[in-house]
Chains A and B, each alone.
Chain A
Amino acid sequence: MLVNFFVRLRSVITISALLLWSACASAAYELNMPVGVTDTSRSVYDLHMLIFWICVLIGLVVFGVMFYSMYHHRKSKGAVAAQFHESTTVEIIWTVVPMLILIGMAIPATQVLIAMEDTSEPDITVKVTGYQWKWGYEYLDEDIQFFSSLSTPREQIANAETKGEHYLLEVDNPLVLPVGKKIRILTTAADVLHAWWVPALGWKRDAIPGFINDSWTVIKEPGTYRGQCAELCGKDHGFMPVVIEAKSEEDYQQWLADMKGEAAQVAAAEAVDREWTQEELMSKGQEVHDGVCASCHQAGGTGVPGAFPPLVAGQVFNAPEPMLQPLREMGFLGPDNTIVMGPVEQHTQIVLKGIPGSAMQAYAEQLSDAEIAAVITYQRNSWGNDTGDVVQPSTIKSAR
């Protein structure tokens, strides 16, 4: 009954508030939680507004009484202090009434929560893996797998260019999903905690290394929905957005077909058996370096003192001993902590397997043979490094 009362009350107030807000909304910013495009997001929105208005109401009463008292019971108006200071009856009343209000809130909250837990019988299952600092998507029933990272140019972030409309909320490969299908989303992480969040879906879920969380969604309308990583995951936590493209069933099928076709093409282009020219490797290598390695080692290979080693021979790397030791052992650190270009085989191993216990992760799973060959070639022949080494994809394949 109480609930009903509030629900009705809410709808009245919501309408007036919506009018108010739509005025604000015309100025291109948002003040409130998005209503979203799933049943979940809508019921969460309703719940949010319900609680919000109950709180506003309580606030009005409480502050109303308080301001009334502050106005009338002031000494300057000649008020004389009463001396009452106890009443068990009122104490009981204001314990019980909030209790009832809380129960009124808890009931709808419980219903929404229970509905959100049911991940059974999905049409599609997508595994989402958080990496520092990008997302990996894997369609478990389709054999499709790709990475999705920020595509906003670095110049925009550095304020050297004007910022685009979707500044920081755009990626190279969005997650493509069909509308009207129950999609089960499995979240996990490869390195540290992340959280996968698209407000329009109505929830976020933490991505935890070594564990998998599952959630589900049914998107109602085609469109592009943007979100961000929502758990601090290090330096570029603010730069790993999530973009979903929701397509109609036909478009989705088309996309699947394209992906498989394109995937085949990419595979051909990167055919490991082919001899690559140095130019080809260098240009692809730069792409990979700037996209993957530069967030730590920097685009110019200069690294960050104390945290990320430079990739340029002759530069000094000052860092705690546990960080230096593996570098020295693998032949990348000379006297006085200067970087040297160690053996190419070791370089390959580092990229493939990472350095355990450090921020250097294993890229064997994430990058193709050609990409690894290219980036190693690039790094060994840029910024004054002149090893002349040319690494072929076939070499990487056998080194795996």
Chain B
Amino acid sequence: MSTATHVHEEHHHGPAPGLSRWLFTTNHKDIGTMYLLFSLLMFFVGGAMALIIRAELFQPGLQIVDPHFFNQMTTVHALVMVFGAVMPAFVGLANWQIPMMVGAPDMALPRMNNWSFWILPFAASLLIISLFAEGGGPAAGWTMYPPLVLQTGAAFPYLIFSVHLLGMSSIMGAINVIATILNMRAPGMNLMKMPLFVWTWLITAYLLIAVMPVLAGGVTMLLTDKYFGTSFFNAAGGGDPVMFQHIFWFFGHPEVYIMILPAFGVISQIIPTFSRKPLFGYSSMVYATGSIAFLSFIVWAHHMFTVGMPLAGELFFMYSTMLIAVPTGVKVFNWISTMWKGSMTFETPMLFAIAFVILFTICGFSGLMLAIAPADFQYHDTYFVVAHFHYVLVPGAVFSLMAAAYYWLPKWTGHMYDEKLGKIHFWLSVIGVNVLFFPQHFVGLAGMPRRIPDYALQFAEFNMISSLGAFLFGFSQLLFVYIIFKAIRGGQQATDQVWEGAEGLEWTLSSPPPYHSFETAPEVK
């Protein structure tokens, strides 16, 4: 078979029939769809756990679950949300969008693309199985600090192996993204012409490859400490439990930017579209993303101010953490300047994007407060921290995902979603999320520690409000699912450009786009 005919034949293949389409596919759109649906499912699984947490915390006293199970819920909720919902969702977006945005036929390494997705359901299964293991599931927090995590029962190896698999999947996904961006761009699409979403993903992928192996190494040490008698985290053998924290956060801090940089990318696509005005300060946005990524490697110990580091260490990590406010501020200012003197309309994606900018900035402020080491001695391990990171993760990362879904759904399905329902979904979400997380700032400052199933009476009112917000926010997401499936099944036909102000290669393709995105490379001027 000659090369030419082979390729020719490939390109005119549509999707394979039945289940094998999904199991064996090497198509970036199919894989992207699977990533997105998987992450939506995991969002509900993790969300259901969060609702158990909030239900228990509705009132003081133990009502629904016992403390050990509560800790399992906290732990698995976080792991499922971080590794099962948010990260795969962004990889799903990358799969759908990057080839279309750079003008490629598909991802660079299509078979590996399939594998990096198909590891995920198995990894998630291991994690869920662990909940049913003898002695209960992992309950030492998503941070898995030893020695506590070493007290886990039969669930322990499932937890560790699940993290290993999740890491493999992320690394393969990231390698694919980098290879696609560096090698598959259409002629003329030089680096400084790439859409910002592509840029942020390029840098995110780099972060992923740099830190996921470190997490894998760290949990491997946990495994050998528990089962093979090593002493990495045991002072009697010359090790140090705090060393795990250093390893974890060397991974963990870049990890939180892994969850927010692609979100920055999404927002940088949406705001110009609905402002009908080019993104302000494109190149400074790129440099800011790069600076954030660089700084993210040297700030990790701001999660560990209270472990008793030497003064010089505390100061170093305090200063470096504060510095991150600068490039992040540049981003915020550029978004606002993009809106300035634009011609704005407020469709659902834009609403989510604006909420993102505001609520993310609020989270950034609480982050900055946490960065002040002496003040963190008070904030650390309280609900103030819980409020901080949920503001970045829910109205930050998750809102950007919802914005992205509304923004690109017409392109993906060929149908407009129901704008009215979308707006209702937005307002329910934005109210719900603030009722849910804003009061947590107060209880945290007033002294409520995190990871507790029961609390003193002075925290009762705000916890109740927060729990009500959780149920409002949680159940509003059922509407989101309804809107998505409605748009998949039908609706007003979307044009190629979809949005009046949209620019970029993906909008030159039909809606929905052909099975292989760009069979012949477009010319980019």
Contacts and interface: CB of A to CB of B under 8 A. Distances in A.
The answer to whether A and B touch directly, with their CB atoms under 8 angstroms apart, is yes
Interface residues of A, number: 103
Contacts of B276: 75, 81
Contacts of B146: 192
Which of B140, B275, B330, B461 is packed against the most chain A CB atoms within 10 Å? B275
A95 B380 CA distance: 29
Given A47-B374, A85-B338, A192-B146, 5 more contacts: A29-B462, A81-B341, A98-B325, A168-B455, A169-B456
A235 B62 contact: no
A371 interface: no
A210 B236 contact: yes
Contact of A204 (B135, B378, B453): B378
A305 B445 CA distance: 38
A257 interface: no
Interface string A76-100: 1001111111110011001100110
Nearest to A102: B322
A86 B330 contact: no
Interface of A: 27-34, 43-44, 47-48, 51-52, 55, 58-59, 62-63, 65-66, 69-70, 73-76, 79-87, 90-91, 94-95, 98-99, 102, 105-106, 109-110, 112-114, 116-117, 156-159, 163, 165-169, 191-193, 195, 197, 199, 202-206, 208-211, 213-214, 226-239, 304-307, 318-320, 323, 358-359
A81 B275 contact: yes
Contacts of B336: 62, 65-66, 69
B403 to A, nearest CB: 16
B358 A66 contact: yes
Given A81-B277, A158-B61, A158-B62, A227 B447 contact: yes
Contact of B235 (A62, A90, A102, A209): A209
A261 to B, nearest CB: 33
Given A94-B330, A211-B242, A70 B339 contact: yes
A29 to B, nearest CB: 5
A82 B333 contact: no
B280 A86 contact: yes
A44 B377 contact: yes
Contacts of B125: none
Contacts of A232: 71, 140-141, 145, 148, 451
Contacts of A202: 377-378
A110 B346 CA distance: 44
A161 to B, nearest CB: 10
A166 to B, nearest CB: 7
B343 A75 contact: yes
A112 B381 CA distance: 20
Contact of A69 (B148, B332, B340, B459): B340
List the 10 closest pairs (A to B, CB-CB), nearest first: A210-B235, A238-B452, A306-B134, A306-B135, A213-B308, A30-B446, A55-B365, A203-B377, A82-B341, A81-B343
Interface string B277-304: 1111111100000000000000000000
Contacts of B153: 306-307, 319-320, 323
Given A79-B341, A306-B136, A209 B241 contact: yes
B451 A206 contact: no
Nearest to B457: A167
Contacts of B380: 195, 204, 230
Interface stretch (B96-104, B311-319, B406-414, B478-486): B311-319
Contact of A66 (B71, B339, B451): B339
Contacts of B340: 65, 69, 73
Nearest to A215: B308
A199 B61 contact: no
A55 B344 contact: no
Contact of B378 (A44, A191, A229): A44
B306 interface: yes
Nearest to A227: B447
B61 A163 contact: yes
Nearest to B446: A30
A167 B147 contact: no
Contacts of B357: 66
Contacts of B139: 234-235
A208 B244 CA distance: 12
Contacts of B382: 230
Contacts of A209: 147, 235, 241
B375 interface: yes
B373 A109 contact: yes
A238 B330 CA distance: 41
B133 A306 contact: yes
Contacts of A191: 147
Which of B139, B340, B375, B459 is packed against the most chain A CB atoms within 10 Å? B375
Which of B277, B306, B454 is packed against the most chain A CB atoms within 10 Å? B306
B154 to A, nearest CB: 4
Contact of B368 (A27, A55, A203): A55
Contacts of B148: 192-193, 232-234
B354 A163 contact: no
Contact of B333 (A94, A105, A204): A94
B461 to A, nearest CB: 6
A74 B346 contact: yes
B345 interface: yes
A80 B306 contact: no
Interface in B111-161: 133-136, 139-141, 145-148, 151, 153-154
Contacts of B136: 306-307
A91 B284 contact: yes
A59 to B, nearest CB: 6
29 contacts: A27-B461, A30-B446, A32-B442, A32-B446, A34-B446, A44-B374, A47-B375, A59-B365, A62-B333, A70-B354, A73-B275, A73-B339, A75-B276, A76-B345, A85-B278, A102-B323, A102-B326, A105-B372, A157-B454, A159-B62, A163-B457, A165-B457, A203-B377, A204-B378, A204-B380, A205-B306, A234-B71, A304-B68, A307-B68
Contacts of A163: 60-61, 457
A206 B234 CA distance: 16
Interface in B241-290: 241-242, 275-284
B67 interface: yes
B513 interface: no
Nearest to A63: B358
Interface in B347-391: 354, 357-358, 361-362, 365, 368-369, 372-375, 377-378, 380-382
B285 to A, nearest CB: 10
B63 interface: yes
B377 A192 contact: no
Given A65-B336, A199-B378, A236-B67, A28 B145 contact: no
B224 interface: no
A113 B369 contact: no
Contacts of A84: 280, 341
Given A166-B456, A234-B151, A106 B62 contact: no
Contact of B315 (A62, A110, A208, A358): A110
A31 B337 CA distance: 35
A33 B151 contact: no
A228 B442 contact: no
A52 to B, nearest CB: 7
Contacts of B374: 43-44, 47, 109, 112-113, 116, 203
A81 B136 CA distance: 58
B458 interface: yes
B496 interface: no
Contacts of B319: 106
Nearest to B66: A235
A386 B310 CA distance: 56
